[in-house]
């Protein structure tokens, strides 16, 4: 083929060279192929087409979501690095900072749950240390079908084992998250992974290429054939009935190589030897090289003969599009190349010089001295198409009409506490090492958010990951807004002041106007909530095509929030910690049955209009939780008020005797209805709490006191011993 910049040899055919519709083989449309040919002034070579198919995929280019993501607020006093880099970075006291990001590994986990989840952990950790941060925490957001279904149990076991395998082996604690079980995930599970890491604010690394002539190094694992077309044909298309044939597109992780890679990169960063650092994730060497060059306004030349390989006979197409794990692309000064290579070799990492930075804004790939790809970097990155897909706005939901009230309080409390979406997740988190690095100050099961201590200082960070497919299915705008509010509220309950958020948006096909309509509404809700609470978005991920044969998942926004715990000694758990404390409820007294766990259990499905958040109330609540002298705080979420009180007893060392407000309507709405903006707290200074609540405009009601023993006593309703917390074990067979 002949282009404007000389001859480009056709790489080894891989199903696209002689195909009458070559765009199909790489996930492009006919029109996209034509625009590529017009931009190049010629037909693309098979390698160029494969590279563009990967970079123009939904997974890499965000071509259906980018026009909407612009509405999210991304600037704030604490934001040091926002969207567009490997991870967002937020400022902390004393010159410290925290890097955060959340990503999805839904499609690989549906095909091969162990490796899909394990490589999800590995990938998100590389995003964190690519900024120069040492990873300090992992959180997982998992969604499955009900656990009494055989495939759901298989997926759950495989995913949890994969997360435990990678996190435990590499030495990063898995400290929290969320796990949901709903019919809307019957065909496609969701596996979202969030990570955080410590770094100095004046030592942030960027994924940029700079300095024409500077060497480009590839370090870490050798390149194999695993994961080819993972971005374009696995993560950017819907499944047919049986996705088993896609297993070759799933990557295979090695946490022990990941550990060597992590330590190599952090030593190189600390030594000042790195100009840029980029993870080889989706689309492999293609994305790492083109994104680094694009961010830096540079070009890049690659010599594939220098790429270390673990399989014989790999052609240029396979090398450039392999998604083999545990690999990083580094840019160093020419004068520092030998020092950088020596560091990598000391850690036992394979390292090779595979190219150099150029000044002409083009990416050139050579194989055996011949040019096999030559195109503008911008064609792979900023010139990717952006679509404003047809979107049919969802109807505003109407209130449901529930059946008769139910006075059998004790029976329903027991059923709710044992329900899969409420019962303890100890079966999950006990498989994780959540205390490695010895800085986890609030452990899983102890609080609404994890708290990590920054050793050598007085502060820490609180981390929470939340989202509800059930509520977002019923009300996309309200459900997404609620996800932001709940994650922020959980951080505040643990004693943190929210600084920023990262998100992972899990939806079906963007080509379906109904699906796209719910996505647009959810972005509006998330943007409104983030602005109202002053919590900027530092980055995230959009995962489309989570559907099988036209059956999409429940639209699920997962929101991760990081907050500053200014005094680590004042961190809080959710359980009542001592006797004789006042028990109070902050926020509105009654909830709503629509969308509640109680409604789903009692009538077989959640329906109606879940209550939307009151942003003024949420702001006031965050202030109260930050300033009040509280001994515990627990968000009143799934299951409602009575379940929340029971959880406070189960998570603590004291019982409680309470007198609940008289219901204005239904008893079950008071006890088991759900509404945002409600928190149950304990304090030894109730008058001061009440005064602060009045000042902040937050309703506050004293319910009772904490007591000896482990009983929950509700005057006029019953007494319930709460000795043992139900877990997932009975559901797993």
Closest CA to 154 of 195, 111, 120, 121: 111
Phi/psi for 584 (5° steps) reads -135, 155
Residue with tokens 């917390």: 725
How far is Cα 474 from Cα 509, in angstroms, rounded to an integer? Answer: 18
Two structure tokens written together for 694? 């009045």
Q: Which helix (H) or strand (E) holds 111?
A: helix 106-111
How far is Cα 437 from Cα 433, in angstroms, rounded to an integer? Answer: 10
How far is Cα 296 from Cα 290, in angstroms, rounded to an integer? Answer: 10
How far is Cα 275 from Cα 269, in angstroms, rounded to an integer? Answer: 9
Phi/psi for 564 (5° steps) reads -85, 125
Residues with Cβ within 8 Å of residue 15, at least 6 apart in sequence: 25
Two structure tokens written together for 567? 């005094």
DSSP string, 314-383: --HHHHHH---SSEEEEE--GGGHHHHHHHHHHTT-EEEEEEEEESSSEEEEEETTEEEEEEEHHHHTTT
Q: Please identify which of the residues 59, 229, 434, 634 carries the catalytic annotation.
A: 59
Residue with tokens 């050798």: 222
Q: Please identify which of the residues 68, 105, 206, 634 carries the catalytic annotation.
A: 105
Q: What is the CA radius of gyration of the chain?
A: 26
Greatest extent of the chain over all pairs of C-alpha atoms, in Å:
86
165 is catalytic: no
Closest CA to 62 of 370, 381, 278, 340: 381
3-state secondary structure of 574: coil
How far is Cα 206 from Cα 325, in angstroms, rounded to an integer? Answer: 20
434 is catalytic: no
* Residues acting as catalytic residues: 59, 105
């Amino acid at each position: 083929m002949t282009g404007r910049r000389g001859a480009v040899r056709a790489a080894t055919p891989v199903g696209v060279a002689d195909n009458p519709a070559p765009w199909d083989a790489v996930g492009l449309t006919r029109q996209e192929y034509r625009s590529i040919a017009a931009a190049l002034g010629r037909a693309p070579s098979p390698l160029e087409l494969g590279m563009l198919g990967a970079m123009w995929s939904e997974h890499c280019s965000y071509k259906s979501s980018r026009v909407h993501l612009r509405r999210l607020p991304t600037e704030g006093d604490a934001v040091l690095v926002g969207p567009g880099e490997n991870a967002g970075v937020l400022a902390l006291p004393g010159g410290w900072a925290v890097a955060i990001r959340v990503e999805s590994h839904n499609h690989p986990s549906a095909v091969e749950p162990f490796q899909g989840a394990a490589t999800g952990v590995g990938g998100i950790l590389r995003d964190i240390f690519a900024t120069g941060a040492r990873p300090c925490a992992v959180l997982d957001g998992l969604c499955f079908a009900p656990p009494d279904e055989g495939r759901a149990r298989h997926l759950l076991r495989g995913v949890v084992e994969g997360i435990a395998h990678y996190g435990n082996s590499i030495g990063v604690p898995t400290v929290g998250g969320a796990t949901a079980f709903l019919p809307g995930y019957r065909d496609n599970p969701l596996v979202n992974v969030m990570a955080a890491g410590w770094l100095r604010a004046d030592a942030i690394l960027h994924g940029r290429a700079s300095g024409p002539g500077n060497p480009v190094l590839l370090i870490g694992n050798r390149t194999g054939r695993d994961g080819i077309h993972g971005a374009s044909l696995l993560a950017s298309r819907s499944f047919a009935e049986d996705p088993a044939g896609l297993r070759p597109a799933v990557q295979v992780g090695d946490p022990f190589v990941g550990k060597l890679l992590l330590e190599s990169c952090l030593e190189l960063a600390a030594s000042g030897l790195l100009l840029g650092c980029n993870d080889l994730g989706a689309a492999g060497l293609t994305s790492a090289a083109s994104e680094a060059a694009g961010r830096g306004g540079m070009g890049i030349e690659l010599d594939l003969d220098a790429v270390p390989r673990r399989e014989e006979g790999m052609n240029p197409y396979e090398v450039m599009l392999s998604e083999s794990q545990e690999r990083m692309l580094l840019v160093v000064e020419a004068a520092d190349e030998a020092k950088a290579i020596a560091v990598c070799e000391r850690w036992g990492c394979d390292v090779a010089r595979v190219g150099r930075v150029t000044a002409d804004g083009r990416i050139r790939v050579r194989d055996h001295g011949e040019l096999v790809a030559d195109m503008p970097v911008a064609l792979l990155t900023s010139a990717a198409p952006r679509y404003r897909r047809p979107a049919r706005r969802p109807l505003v939901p109407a209130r449901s009409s529930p059946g008769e009230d139910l006075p059998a309080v004790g029976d329903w409390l027991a059923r709710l506490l044992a329900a899969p979406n409420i019962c303890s997740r100890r079966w999950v988190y006990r498989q994780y090492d959540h205390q490695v690095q010895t800085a986890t100050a609030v452990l899983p099961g102890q609080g609404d958010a994890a708290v990590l201590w920054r050793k050598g200082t007085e502060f820490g960070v609180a981390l929470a990951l939340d989202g509800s497919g059930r509520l977002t299915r019923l009300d996309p705008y309200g459900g997404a807004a609620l996800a932001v509010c709940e994650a922020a509220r959980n951080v505040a309950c643990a004693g943190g002041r929210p600084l920023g958020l990262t998100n992972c948006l899990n939806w079906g096909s963007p080509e379906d106007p109904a699906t796209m309509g719910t996505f647009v509404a959810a972005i509006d809700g998330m943007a409104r909530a983030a602005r109202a609470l002053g919590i900027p978005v530092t980055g995230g991920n959009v995962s489309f095509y989570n559907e099988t044969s036209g059956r999409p998942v429940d639209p699920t926004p997962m929101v991760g929030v990081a907050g500053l715990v200014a005094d680590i000694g004042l961190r809080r758990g959710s359980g009542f910690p001592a006797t004789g404390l006042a028990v109070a409820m902050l926020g509105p007294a009654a909830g709503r049955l629509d969308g509640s766990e109680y409604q789903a259990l009692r009538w077989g499905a959640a329906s109606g209009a879940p209550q939307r958040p009151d942003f003024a109330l949420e702001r006031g609540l965050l202030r109260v939780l930050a300033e009040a002298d509280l001994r515990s705080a627990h968000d009143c979420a799934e299951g409602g008020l009575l379940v929340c009180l029971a959880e406070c007893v189960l998570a603590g060392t004291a019982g409680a005797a309470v007198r609940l407000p008289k219901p204005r309507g239904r008893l079950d709405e008071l006890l088991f209805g759900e509404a945002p903006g409600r928190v149950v707290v304990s304090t030894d200074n109730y008058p001061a709490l009440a005064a602060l609540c009045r000042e902040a405009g937050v309703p506050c009601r004293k319910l009772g006191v904490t007591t000896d023993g482990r009983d929950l006593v509700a005057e006029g309703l019953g007494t319930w011993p709460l000795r043992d917390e139900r877990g997932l074990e009975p559901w797993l067979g």
